[in-house]
């Protein structure tokens, strides 16, 4: 006999399926199968591990989203994942985005306790809890990476708070957040010495965590150590930064440490171990969608209807060991375009991969700052808009509007004035690089390990008169 809770869940599933236009007869037959987005019937073309989505009673697909099968559980995960880091402030807007995403096949939602100044999990929970629990997979993290090492009691408080805010009694994908920064000593202080990782392993065994993994930035020795101990920890997935620029050019991009690795190495090692990847920064903080006119022209000649963003997503999704690629979609037009890109995914050809590799080689030679605009460094106590300053500078580099380095060039002064005028229009006075006081507080927060104060000095130099 069903409990009241089970009856309510079944009713909610029926309502959700009917909202998608699925007849009641079909809905009844699907109630025991699990996630709406997890239902699949056939492989989809060259995208290895991809599946077709739910169909209505006429045989027409409710969506064309591409899915990948999670190793072990058999869960069908949408190849496009919803990165919930930068959500709209209004809950109604969040709800609207989540509703549209679910209705069009997205079923993986990634958040963290520190996103949105600590409000993100709650907003995510409010939006998702309006839908059947079986219709989505939620990922969140142990975000204990800033400040001194936490005792296990404090970490458990963050862990339990995630359940309350997300309004769930189990978490599908749980991550050790941003390991790598600070090296092995930092990893051991955060997770090993205090018994926290042992606790999380026990929680996975108990079923409150369904899949356990980690997100990686920084010192590759940490990445390798965790994988070297995979026989002990049995990682279910690993989240890495991967895009066609970082594939072979992640190293030597202005970081403070030299212990980082190209995405090609990270992906290759995980693939050999059979550990699937969740991808963050597939567009490198938007940098691969705001490309130069020259790059845009090359891409347009190859596929005239594809935006640079689509190229970036297609490249990532073409890798068969990718479980899902996260995109921060806080605007409906971005959500719709990205869904179209993955519905279904058209994998990149060898010729297209070669084109993107040539473009990446050229991009790697530009003096850009390796900021992905994640805003982990914010807020700055002196009011500096760190990601905003870096984004403006990088776009100027990409567009060829940068006046440096040759001050003797005939057009230097003209370019400098144009750059300064545009900078003043884009960045408010109180948020400019000149307000940086070299306090260094941002250094320990940056997952890219950028020497932020040094880069701020570069930006100040850009506007200095001869």
Q: What DSSP assignment string belongs to 96-137? A: HHHHHHHHTT--EEE--TTGGGGTHHHHHHHHHTTS-GGG-E
Residues 151-160 have a mean pLDDT of 97
- Of the three residues 330, 363, 396, the one that is the final residue of a domain is 363
Query: What CATH number corresponds to the domain at position 213?
Result: 3.20.20.100
Please tell me the total count of domains within the chain: 3
Decide: 17 and 53 in contact? Cβ < 8 Å: no
User: Same domain, yes or no, for 123 and 207?
Assistant: yes
User: Same domain, yes or no, for 26 and 45?
Assistant: no
Decide: 40 and 53 in contact? Cβ < 8 Å: yes
User: Same domain, yes or no, for 19 and 135?
Assistant: no
Q: Which residues pair with 69 in a beta bridge?
A: 76
User: Same domain, yes or no, for 16 and 57?
Assistant: no
Which residues, at least 6 apart from 398, have a Cβ–Cβ distance to it below 8 Å? 287, 290, 291, 292, 366, 368
- The verdict on residue 280 lying in a domain is yes
What gap in Å lies between CA 179 and CA 181, rounded to an integer? 6
What gap in Å lies between CA 453 and CA 438, rounded to an integer? 5
Going across the sheet that includes 50-51, the strands are 50-51, 67-69, 76-78
Angle between helices 152-166 and 196-206 (to 10 degrees): 40
User: Same domain, yes or no, for 347 and 439?
Assistant: no
Residues 34-53 have a mean pLDDT of 35
Tokens at 216, concatenated: 């990686």
Decide: 214 and 235 in contact? Cβ < 8 Å: yes
User: Same domain, yes or no, for 276 and 175?
Assistant: yes
Distances (CA, A) of 226 to 119, 176, 273: 30, 11, 12
Decide: 312 and 341 in contact? Cβ < 8 Å: no
What gap in Å lies between CA 395 and CA 373, rounded to an integer? 13
- Split at pLDDT 50, 70, 90, the class of 56 is very low
User: Same domain, yes or no, for 310 and 239?
Assistant: yes
Distances (CA, A) of 409 to 88, 420, 422, 450: 44, 17, 20, 30
- Split at pLDDT 50, 70, 90, the class of 412 is confident
- The verdict on residue 334 lying in a domain is yes
> Could you report the per-residue pLDDT of 179-230, keeping only the tens digit for each?
998 899 999 999 999 999 999 999 999 999 999 999 998 899 999 999 999 9
- Mean pLDDT, the chain, rounded, equals 83
Tokens at 325, concatenated: 């690629």
- Is the model's pTM score more than 0.85? no
User: Same domain, yes or no, for 20 and 71?
Assistant: no
Torsional class of 117: left (φ above 0), alpha (ψ -120 to 50), beta (otherwise): left
What pLDDT is stored for residue 144 in this prediction? 95
What gap in Å lies between CA 396 and CA 165, rounded to an integer? 40
User: Same domain, yes or no, for 358 and 423?
Assistant: no
Half-sphere exposure (Cβ direction) of 9: Cα atoms closer than 13 Å: 12
What pLDDT is stored for residue 67 in this prediction? 98
- Split at pLDDT 50, 70, 90, the class of 269 is very high
Q: Taking 90 as the threshold, does the pLDDT of residue 441 lie above it?
A: no
Task: Of 56, 80, 57, give the one whose Cα is nearest residue 67.
Answer: 80
Domain region containing 427? 386-462
Percent of the chain having pLDDT more than 70? 82
Distances (CA, A) of 79 to 106, 142, 346, 428: 8, 24, 12, 38
Residues 136-161 have a mean pLDDT of 94
User: Same domain, yes or no, for 133 and 12?
Assistant: no
């Amino acid at each position: 006999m069903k409990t009241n809770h089970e009856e309510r869940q079944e009713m909610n599933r029926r309502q959700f399926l009917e909202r998608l236009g699925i007849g009641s007869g079909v809905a009844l037959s699907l109630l025991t199968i699990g996630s709406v987005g997890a239902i699949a019937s056939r492989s989809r073309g060259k995208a290895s591990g991809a599946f077709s989505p739910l169909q209505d009673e006429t045989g027409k697909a409710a969506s064309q989203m591409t899915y990948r099968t999670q190793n072990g559980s058999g869960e069908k995960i949408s190849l496009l994942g919803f990165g919930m880091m930068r959500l709209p402030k209004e809950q109604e807007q969040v709800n609207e985005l989540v509703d549209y995403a679910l209705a069009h096949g997205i079923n993986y939602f990634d958040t963290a306790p520190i996103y949105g100044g600590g409000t993100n999990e709650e907003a995510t929970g409010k939006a998702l809890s309006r839908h059947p629990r079986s219709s989505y997979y939620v990922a969140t993290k142990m975000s204990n990476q800033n400040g001194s090492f936490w005792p296990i009691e404090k970490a458990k408080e963050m862990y339990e708070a995630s359940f309350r805010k997300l309004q769930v009694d189990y978490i599908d994908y749980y991550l050790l957040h941003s390991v790598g920064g600070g090296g092995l000593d930092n990893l051991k202080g955060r997770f090993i010495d205090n018994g926290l990782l042992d606790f999380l392993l026990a929680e996975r065994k108990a079923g409150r965590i369904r899949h356990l993994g980690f997100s990686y930035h920084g010192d590759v020795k940490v990445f390798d150590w965790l994988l070297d101990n995979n026989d002990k920890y049995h990682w279910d997935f690993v989240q890495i930064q991967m895009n066609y620029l970082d594939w072979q050019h992640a190293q030597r991009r202005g970081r403070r440490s030299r212990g980082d690795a190209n995405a090609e190495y990270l992906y290759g090692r995980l693939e050999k171990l059979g550990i699937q990847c969740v991808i963050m920064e597939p567009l490198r903080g938007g940098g691969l969608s705001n490309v130069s006119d020259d790059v845009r022209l090359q891409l347009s000649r190859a596929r005239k209807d594809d935006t640079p963003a689509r190229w970036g997503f297609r490249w990532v999704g073409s890798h068969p060991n990718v479980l899902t690629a996260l995109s921060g979609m806080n605007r409906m037009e971005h959500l719709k375009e990205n869904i179209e890109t993955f519905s279904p995914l058209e994998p990149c050809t060898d010729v297209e991969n070669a084109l993107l590799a040539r473009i990446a080689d050229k991009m790697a030679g530009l003096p850009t700052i390796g900021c992905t605009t994640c805003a982990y460094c914010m807020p700055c106590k002196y009011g500096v808009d760190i990601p905003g300053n870096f984004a403006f500078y990088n776009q100027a580099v990409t567009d060829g509007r940068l006046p440096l380095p040759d001050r003797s060039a005939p057009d230097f002064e003209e370019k400098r004035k144009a750059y300064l005028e545009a900078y003043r229009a884009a960045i408010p006075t109180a948020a400019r690089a000149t307000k940086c006081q070299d306090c260094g507080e941002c250094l320990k927060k940056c997952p890219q390990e950028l020497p932020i104060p040094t880069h701020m000095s570069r930006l100040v130099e850009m506007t200095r008169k001869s």
